[in-house]
Structure 1
Amino acid sequence: MNTLQKEPILEALFEGWEALDQVLSPLTGDAWFTPTPLPGWTVHDVVAHLIGTESLLEGIPAPHTSIDVRSLGHVRNEMGAFNEQWVEGLRGCAGWEMLEKFREITARRRVELARMTDEMLAAETTTPVGPAPYLRFMRIRVFDCWMHELDIRDALGVPGEEGDRRANIAFMEIGDAVGYLVGKRGKAPDGSRITLELTGPLARDIHVVVDGRARVVDELPAEATTTITLDSRLFTRLAGGRTTAVEHPDDIRLTGDTTTGKRIVDNLAFTI
């Protein structure tokens, strides 16, 4: 796992909030209700989720809703139900109100994070990936905010930077999951040597060996048995469950053991 460093993570989180503010500030009227790649969620709903998660971290309870959010088709687990409470609870707010609420809660979070000591940031807490240091949770927040910024940009057709420092920190959350995605979800057989060749703004090679279990390594001990080549922008959206490999047959190149390669790209989604 990558070493957690306070300053880069918190600075990336603050930059993410600023980037979201810049994307949302020009929106008026129906633009707030543009559907995003997330099933059942508009731009308004995504922002409600972001407000809700930061509110949770400030100890603010979710609003009461008049409907059973667990009955909604796109709610698959308790985390999804919690998110949907905020989506439903803020549904009646106008766009400008949502932006103000987002600014208010992120301002509070800045103050709270600024006062936290190294010991507090290192303390174990409950996170979406299980017990982990609070600072790891903040790196997950960088990833979540970055992914949702991409959701909003994709929905609105507003391009953004996908290869800066913030993107690289957010991408660590995906990188840490690659072994699981290749071994458990992709079911790469024992003895496999997989290389993911990413092009584009987050260009890099990710190597995985399967020897009892799948793990990411700096270099393969021998030639890759399967090589998967695709743009990092597509890889990010596949890992986030925003699209599927079937929808991009001409954008993914497989060489070597293509059966394993196809199974891997068909099972890259790992977000809740």
Structure 2
Amino acid sequence: MTVHPSLEPYVDAWTHSIEAITELVLPLTEGQWNLPTPCPGWSVRDVVSHIIGLELEQLGDPRPIHTLPRDLRHVVDEFTRYMEVPVDVRRHHTALEMTSELEYTVIRRQRQFRNDKRDPATTLVRGPKGDQIPLELSMRLRAFDVWIHEQDLRAALGVPGNWDAPGAHVARDILLSGLPKVVAKGAGAPPNTAVVLDVHGPLEFLRTVRVDAAGRATLDPTPSLGPAVSLSLDWETYVRLAAGRVRPRTVADRVKVDGDAELAEAILANFAVTP
């Protein structure tokens, strides 16, 4: 597949995850499509519907005209309403309808990648909130989204895997980019504070969030001597916390905390960076 060099890592990651998702759902029975996933309010069918809906938007297809029921508790704002429309219109689709639409959508997207001559840095496309964003950022977010939802499906179906896939590396960078805001704004870490995050497992990395005298936080790959807080956890737990799939208290035994316990609790309470 020939794509612009700046898009290639994201297309590769997207392809790896979308093929894994297709392989996961093709053999499912009708009942398995209704299994709940860690994504709040969504079943296996809903997660796949969401993926189909956003990929169709990237193809330029019109959004469905649909009025949502009023009893969807996970729909709480304009963003979640926007995301729910392509999900709810497919809630009664059969397994065959779902897999057929997924496969055809993937074929269309792969054809789009092969034929796309647009400049990824300057071309604007529809973003996840319906706004216009650069094509390169859009593809990065799509690679992230399908990998996160692949993990939702794997958790629901009891088929773990791909924690070190190409999409995992994209997800690591996106989730880490939100960490300074978590520490400085969400947790209210005081000026001149350092917080160390030590993650182990299939993906291993150490990052320091440094809050300067003005209260601005930055991410630093070097360790800190005498940080206010050090958090050590495995990669799977980090993803599930940062993506809002679990609450801190449910994985407390998988997070080692050193330092200011009150600040650590505030950081973990605000750890989710996905909408």
When normalised by structure 2's length, the TM-score is: 0.90
Deviations 1:31-51 (A, max 9, x none): 111011122211001111111
Q: Which amino acid aligns with 1:165?
A: P
Distance 1:221 1:159 in 2: 34
Cα gap change, 1:126/1:48 in structure 2, threshold over 3 Å: closer, same or farther? closer
Partner-residue secondary structure (3-state), 1:201 = coil
Cα gap change, 1:223/1:117 in structure 2, threshold over 3 Å: closer, same or farther? farther
Q: Once the 2 structures are TM-superposed, how far is the Cα of residue 25 of structure 1 from its aligned partner?
A: 1.5
Q: Once the 2 structures are TM-superposed, how far is the Cα of residue 128 of structure 1 from its aligned partner?
A: 4.1
Q: Tell me the equivalent position of 1:94.
A: 94
Q: Tell me the equivalent position of 1:270.
A: 273
Q: Once the 2 structures are TM-superposed, how far is the Cα of residue 124 of structure 1 from its aligned partner?
A: 4.2
Distance 2:154 2:8 in 1: 26
Q: Is the 8 A contact 1:69 1:75 kept in 2?
A: no
1:30 equivalenced with 2:31 (yes/no): yes
Q: Which runs of 5+ in 1 are unaligned?
A: none
Alignment of 1:242-261 (within 5 A): 242-261=245-264
Partner-residue secondary structure (3-state), 1:158 = coil
Q: Once the 2 structures are TM-superposed, how far is the Cα of residue 17 of structure 1 from its aligned partner?
A: 0.9
Q: Once the 2 structures are TM-superposed, how far is the Cα of residue 82 of structure 1 from its aligned partner?
A: 2.1
Q: Once the 2 structures are TM-superposed, how far is the Cα of residue 118 of structure 1 from its aligned partner?
A: 5.6
Cα gap change, 1:119/1:91 in structure 2, threshold over 3 Å: closer, same or farther? same
Cα gap change, 1:59/1:69 in structure 2, threshold over 3 Å: closer, same or farther? farther
Q: Once the 2 structures are TM-superposed, how far is the Cα of residue 246 of structure 1 from its aligned partner?
A: 1.0
Q: Is the 8 A contact 1:254 1:262 kept in 2?
A: no
Q: Which amino acid aligns with 2:60?
A: G
The farther-off stretch of 250-259 and 164-173 is 164-173
Cα gap change, 1:60/1:69 in structure 2, threshold over 3 Å: closer, same or farther? farther
Q: Tell me the equivalent position of 2:241.
A: 238
Q: Is the 8 A contact 1:70 1:81 kept in 2?
A: no
Partner-residue secondary structure (3-state), 1:197 = strand
Q: Is the 8 A contact 1:139 1:170 kept in 2?
A: no
Deviations 1:201-221 (A, max 9, x none): 111111110012111012246
Deviations 1:137-167 (A, max 9, x none): 1111111101111111101111112013321
Q: Is the 8 A contact 1:69 1:84 kept in 2?
A: no
Deviations 1:167-220 (A, max 9, x none): 112221112111112212122211111110111111111111001211101224
Number of residue-to-residue matches in the alignment: 268
When normalised by structure 1's length, the TM-score is: 0.91
Q: Tell me the equivalent position of 1:50.
A: 51
The farther-off stretch of 67-76 and 43-52 is 67-76
Cα gap change, 1:121/1:16 in structure 2, threshold over 3 Å: closer, same or farther? farther
Q: Which amino acid aligns with 1:98?
A: M
Distance 2:209 2:268 in 1: 14
Q: Tell me the equivalent position of 1:171.
A: 172
Alignment of 1:28-177 (within 5 A): 28-65=29-66, 67-69=67-69, 72-117=72-117, 119-125=119-125, 127-128=127-128, 132-177=133-178
Q: Which amino acid aligns with 2:155?
A: D
Partner-residue secondary structure (3-state), 1:208 = strand
Distance 2:269 2:250 in 1: 10
For 2:231, which of 228, 231, 245 is the aligned residue? 228
Q: Is the 8 A contact 2:68 2:85 kept in 1?
A: no
Q: Which runs of 5+ in 2 are unaligned?
A: none
Distance 1:25 1:80 in 2: 27
